[in-house]
Amino acid sequence: MYNSKKYRKYYIKNRERKLRIRREYYQNNRDKIRKRAKELYPKHRDQNLKYLKRYRIEHPRKVRESRRRYAKKNRQYIIEHSHKYIKEIKKSKPLQYRCRLFISGIRQRGVKFDKTIDSKYFEDRITANPYCECCGKKFKFNFERRMDWAIPSVDRVDPRIGYIKNNIGIVCWGCNMTKSWSTPQQIRNILKYIKKYGK
Nearest distance from C-beta of residue 154 to Zn ion, angstroms: 13
| By CB under 5 A, residue 134 contacts Zn ion | yes
How much of the chain is in helix, strand and coil states, percent to nearest 5?
70, 5, 25
Nearest residue (CB) to Zn ion, 135 versus 157? 135
Nearest distance from C-beta of residue 65 to Zn ion, angstroms: 48
| By CB under 5 A, residue 135 contacts Zn ion | yes
Query: Which residues are CB-neighbours of 98 under 8 A, at least 6 positions away?
Result: 122, 126, 141, 151, 152
| By CB under 5 A, residue 172 contacts Zn ion | yes
Nearest residue (CB) to Zn ion, 151 versus 172? 172
Nearest distance from C-beta of residue 138 to Zn ion, angstroms: 10
**CA 170, CA 172: separation in Å to the nearest integer?**
7
Give burial (CB, 10 Å; 0-12/13-18/19+) of 172: buried
Q: Please tell me the count of residues contacting Zn ion according to CB under 5 A.
A: 6
Query: Which residues are CB-neighbours of 130 under 8 A, at least 6 positions away?
Result: 138, 139
| By CB under 5 A, residue 187 contacts Zn ion | no
Angle at 35 between CA 81 and CA 84, to 5 degrees: 10
Length of the chain as a residue count: 199
Measured in degrees and rounded to the nearest 5, phi and psi for residue 137 equal -70, 145
Nearest residue (CB) to Zn ion, 63 versus 134? 134
| By CB under 5 A, residue 170 contacts Zn ion | no
Nearest distance from C-beta of residue 96 to Zn ion, angstroms: 22
| By CB under 5 A, residue 126 contacts Zn ion | no
Nearest distance from C-beta of residue 110 to Zn ion, angstroms: 26
Q: Considering only the stretches 66-74, 78-86, 137-145, 183-191, report the one whose residues sit in contact with Zn ion under the rule CB under 5 A.
A: 137-145
Binding stretches for Zn ion (CB under 5 A): 132, 134-135, 137, 172, 175
